Amino acid sequence: MPVRLTEYVDTPHGFHSFPGGVPVGAQALAEPGHRAARGVRVTGGRRVLAAAAADVVCVVAFAATGRRSHAEGLDLVGTAGTAAPFLGGLALGWLAGRGWREPLSPLRTGVPAWVGAVAGGMVLRRVTGEGTAPSFVVVASVVLGATLVGWRGVAAAVRRRSAS
């Protein structure tokens, strides 16, 4: 049974109804930025991929910076191993917050991504026997919050400024 997105879609050519709902593939009928009948924000795939990539860059930069500050080296395998739990948590945050709906929103996607990256990352680190010292939790929370929510806040300010 196909997943249903909504019963009505506002397309550039008018408001169309689809009995029984619209399969997710029909989401392409609406242009990016249009709202579907139930308030689902339809966004372009490029915007979602760009936001996800920016989040991955933030997490990997956090891991690389931490490794460098503790003289652990910047080798690819070590950095990937350090970033992996936080990337897993980030993915959980994106899923919980449905980040694909409003990928640039600081509150609707940025906060769940941040909480997921920190909480999920710490749980995964703990399970794998890595450290979760309170000072590390604080540093990770501040840095990941500033980057994962922060870049979205800057992007929102730029969008508001360019719209006026």
The pLDDT tens digits for 65-77 are 988 887 777 778 8
Task: Provide φ and ψ at 62, rounded to 5°.
Answer: -60, -45
Where in the sequence is the domain holding 11, given as residue range(s)?
1-42
Q: Return the pLDDT at 18.
A: 42
> Is there a single domain that holds both residue 135 and residue 85?
yes
**Which carries the bigger pLDDT value, residue 67 or residue 22?**
67
Q: Taking the model in full, what pTM does it have?
A: 0.72
35 and 52 share a domain?
Answer: no
CA–chain centroid gap for 74, Å, is: 25
Domain count within the chain = 2
- The verdict on 36 and 110 lying in the same domain is no
- pLDDT-derived band of residue 29, with 50, 70 and 90 as boundaries? very low
| Same domain membership, residue 89 and residue 138 | yes
Quick: pLDDT tens for 97-138: 999 999 999 999 999 999 999 999 999 999 998 888 999 999
CA 128 → CA 61, 84, 88, 122, 139, distances in Å? 21, 11, 13, 10, 20
Instruction: Judge if 61 and 37 occupy the same domain.
Output: no
